[in-house]
Chains A and B, each alone.
Chain A
């Protein structure tokens, strides 16, 4: 007998109650596999799942039709923040420790997705880029970095020996993942951001004049870059 029918008359089964979460993609791999197996062998359950997918789609449609708030809410928020007592920047707040705690709290599925410590570093850089892309273009991004000058963002050690630095502007439709991938393929790191421009450093050793020209030209040819200039 189909389990879904029985559940509707009495209590729902565990699998039936998981169907909406399966449709939304929020189940862990084990539960997701259980639901898939149940759907494959129970046609009643599969029919109900089709109904759930309609509900899912229309709930999104309904919420998207609610529109967005006016700018009044943001003005009110920042006015209220201005009225708050000024706070001291806490030197005891350890950003790194917070990030370690965050990654420690990720589910095995998420960590598996992340893949490796290297990928985790990329994620952090992607997060920083994402924040910059959303920033006010006239502002720069700061992170806690006691040794660096203000407005300087260090994601990797700049090293010594005047390696190539370039000013790069990414195209507006460039995605954080694409930028991260590009940085990785060029062994580049973000040194500074200002006014929508990124100052990037490439590797740790100096390049010849021809090497600089070739690399700059190659950068200019990247589909997500709109401007690339050698910089100090």
Chain B
């Protein structure tokens, strides 16, 4: 995110704190897809992920006056999203959710082994990324997709910076293990 957008987000939050609905529309337009995708990767249910969006932005509407600007608005939004997603997951039976989610998120594409046979390494990698644990998924997404720094990931997930780095390392090792099991050797580890 550029400094210009960060500054602009900060202005929007100041206006939202004063009850400006138009500013809310702009902020929503700018960040709702990112919030949705981060939430969806955590809860693995599109309906729940959509519900999360309105809950997250309603929190922003209520809490904008308390936003102190110590972190980027996008970091704040992802932290709220994570909190809401974990609450939503706790409301459901985890085992049931995992079974349902696996079915819901499964698409018509090939499973890792079939994809390997077709030599689509990218697809295998994506399948294995989806198979990571929630803890590993979120850290991979935050670093690679949401482009959050070590400090920002620590803030969103609520862990020390060193833990951010080691957790990502072990998420990557797990990913390498899944790829190996699917027949993909990448030369690391």
How many positions in chain A have a CB within 8 Å of any CB in the partner chain?
Answer: 76
A/B pair count, beta carbons within 8 Å:
193
Interface stretch, picked from B17-25, B83-91, B93-101, is B17-25
Q: Contact at A84–B61, with CB atoms within 8 Å?
A: yes
Kindly list chain B residues whose C-beta atoms are within 8 Å of the C-beta of A136.
Answer: 22, 25
CB contact list, B52-73 vs A, under 8 A: 53-54, 57-58, 61-62, 65, 68-70
The binding surface of chain A is classed by DSSP as helix
A69 contact set on B, CB distance < 8 A: 32-33, 36, 46, 49-50, 53
Does the CB pair B58–A20 fall under 8 Å?
no
Complex CA gap A123/B175 in Å reads 40
CB <8 Å contact, B5 and A130: yes
- From B14, B21, B36, B46, A98 is in contact (CB under 8 Å) with B14
Q: What separation, in Å, do the CA atoms of A87 and B62 have in the docked complex? A: 10
Q: Is B175 touching A127 in the complex (CB atoms < 8 A)?
A: no
Q: Say which size band chain B's interface belongs to.
A: 35 or more
Contacts of B173 in A (CB 8 A): 8
Is A113 within 8 A of B8, CB to CB? no
Residue interface bits A76-104, CB-to-B below 8 A is 1, else 0 = 11101100101111100101001101110
> Which B residues from 122 to 158 make CB contacts under 8 A with A?
122, 125-126, 129-130, 140-141, 143-145, 147-150, 152
**CB-nearest residue of chain A to B53:** A73
Establish whether residues A114 and B54, one from each chain, have CB atoms under 8 Å apart when the complex forms: no
Taking CB atoms and an 8 Å cut-off, the chain A residues in 184-219 that contact chain B are none
Known A95-B14, A110-B3: A59·B8 in contact at CB below 8 Å: no
Is B129 touching A58 in the complex (CB atoms < 8 A)?
A: yes
Query: Chain B residue with minimal CB distance to A122?
Result: B4
A99, B30: Cα distance in complex, Å: 20
Q: Is the CB of A26 within 8 A of B7?
A: no
Say yes or no: B140 contacts A131, CB within 8 Å.
no
B54–A77 CB distance below 8 A: yes
A180 to chain B, nearest CB (A): 8
- Asked whether A134 is an interface residue with its Cβ less than 8 Å from the other chain, the reply is yes
In the complex, A78 Cα to B186 Cα: how many Å? 48
A63 in the interface (beta carbon within 8 A): yes
Residues of A within 8 A of B129 (CB): 55, 58-59, 62
What are 9 A-B residue pairs whose CB atoms fall within 8 Å in the complex?
A: A21-B143, A60-B144, A73-B32, A74-B53, A93-B17, A98-B69, A135-B25, A144-B14, A176-B4
